Amino acid sequence: MSMNKRIVFLAPLFAAASIYATDAVSAVPPVDGAGKPAYTTCPVSTTGVTPTSIYHFDKIIFTIVGKLQAANTADQQALENLVANNFKKPLDIKILDNPRTVADLKGKVLTFLGADPKIPDNWLSIEITDVEYAAVVCPKTP
């Protein structure tokens, strides 16, 4: 499997999604087929001085190739519907990433989908096909 890394530096106020995989909720998210742009906004200081901020985003492209078990049993039907409607279709998620840590890509996908990352069969049901990333640098104000 070849992972193509693409570096894209975007102008302030424009970037990929800002979804925190580490703050994931157990609810199964909907699949967005509309292709809407995602933005991040640079912080604004009330004191007039804003430090330089850098945001790093990962776009993880994957396919679901098997059944998934939800982290919460109440979400199982929604997860089964997501799998049935998107089986072996290319999907992607965009998440805010910490460039100082090693990214557990499958764990991030499973957590984002609301699947239980502690179940080994869930790991076998996700195939990651590509990872892209973007960085946003917000300018420092004097």
Token duo for residue 28: 């199964």
Token duo for residue 108: 């991030």
Per-residue pLDDT of 57-109, as tens digits, reads 889 999 999 999 999 999 999 999 999 999 999 999 988 877 778 888 899 89
Token duo for residue 134: 């973007």
3-state helix, strand, coil in the chain (%, to 5): 20, 30, 50
Per DSSP (E only), the strands in 23-125 are 53-64, 91-97
Residue 12 has pLDDT above 80, yes or no: no
Per-residue pLDDT of 19-68, as tens digits, reads 333 344 557 777 655 555 556 777 777 777 777 778 888 899 999 999 99
Q: What pLDDT is stored for residue 115 in this prediction? A: 94
Burial (0-12, 13-18, 19+ Cβ within 10 Å), 118:
exposed
Q: What pLDDT is stored for residue 134 in this prediction? A: 84
Q: Residue 114: which pLDDT band, with cuts at 50, 70 and 90? A: very high
Q: Measuring CA to CA, which residue among 133, 136, 138 is closest to residue 95?
A: 133
b/e 64-83 (16+ beta carbons within 10 angstroms → b): beeebbbbeeebbebbeebb
Sequence-ordered list of residues with C-beta below 8 angstroms from that of 43, at least 6 positions apart, any chain: 50, 53, 138
Token duo for residue 41: 């906004």
Tell me what the mean pLDDT of segment 107-128 comes to: 94
Quick check: 66 and 112 in contact, CB under 8 A? no
